[in-house]
């Protein structure tokens, strides 16, 4: 049973554009929702995270929007740059995390 | 080192063989996690330790998989009678304490290929 569904599978955005990745979860007990960024051959690295008591969190060019009633959350990358090209994973959980399948983002100049 | 260290970085073995994968967490981190990442998939939880004890091993797929952390620092993931389906990148992560902040520090992984 896939508990965290992520879309799209891949995304191509022009430099300067907005990248949007969506996730949906099923388990209402989840209380922590991080996004991880992974470059080829590297381990995932925490990008930004949110708790369900807030609807939005912004850190620099990265924003998480969270909709508790819909059990959905999304990552927005403003002013996308070629260096943002990577695979992004949403995750949800508490002490252990359930990850989505990932979104491969390509930012073209 | 400053980060989570995993060895070997690559391991090729034959079906039926025994494999050990090692994880050296960030110094002082008490919580340690193992995840498995198959090609094109997100990391899948296997087990986590708080100190020396396994706090949750519900993600281990079957009894061929076992992990230890005898002194509360380095951990070893052991796979017996390997199968081709075990081929994946095995990721280790650590955090300063057992926490629900989700801030895991991952290593670069050990890529296991079972022929």
Q: Which of A34, A96, A102 sits opposite B45 (nearest CB)?
A: A96
Q: CB–CB of A102 and B41 under 8 A?
A: yes
Q: Going residue by residue through chain A (109 aa), what tens digit of pLDDT does each one get?
A: 458 999 999 999 999 999 999 999 999 888 899 999 999 999 999 999 999 899 999 999 999 999 999 999 999 999 999 999 999 999 998 878 999 999 999 999 9
Nearest CA-CA distance, residue A37 and chain B, Å: 11
CA distances from residue A39 to A43, B88, B98 in whole angstroms, order as listed: 7, 16, 26
Chains A, B: CB contacts under 8 A, how many?
A: 63
| A98 neighbourhood in chain B, CB within 8 Å | 45
Residue A11 token pair: 């995304």
Residue A81 token pair: 């740059």
Phi first, then psi, for residue B109 (nearest 5°) are 95, 160
DSSP state of A32: B
């Amino acid at each position: 049973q896939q508990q965290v569904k992520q879309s799209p599978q891949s995304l191509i955005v022009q430099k300067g554009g907005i990248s949007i990745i969506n996730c949906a979860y099923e388990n209402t007990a989840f209380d922590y929702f991080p996004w991880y960024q992974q470059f080829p051959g590297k381990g995932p690295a925490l990008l930004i995270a949110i708790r369900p008591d807030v609807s939005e969190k912004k850190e620099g060019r990265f924003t998480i929007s969270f909709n508790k009633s819909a059990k959905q959350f999304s990552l927005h990358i403003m002013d996308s740059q070629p260096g943002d090209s990577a695979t992004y994973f949403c995750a949800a959980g508490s002490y252990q995390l359930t990850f989505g399948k990932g979104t491969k983002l390509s930012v073209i100049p | 080192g400053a980060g989570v260290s995993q060895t070997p970085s690559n391991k090729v073995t034959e079906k039926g063989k025994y494999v050990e994968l090692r994880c050296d967490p960030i110094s002082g981190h008490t919580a340690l996690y193992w995840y498995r990442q198959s090609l094109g998939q997100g990391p899948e939880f296997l087990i986590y330790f708080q100190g020396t004890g396994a706090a949750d091993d519900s993600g281990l797929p079957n009894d061929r998989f076992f992990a230890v952390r005898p002194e509360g620092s380095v951990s070893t993931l052991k796979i017996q009678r390997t199968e081709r389906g075990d081929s994946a990148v095995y990721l280790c992560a650590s955090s300063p304490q057992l926490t629900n902040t989700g801030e895991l520090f991952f290593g670069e992984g050990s890529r296991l290929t079972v022929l």
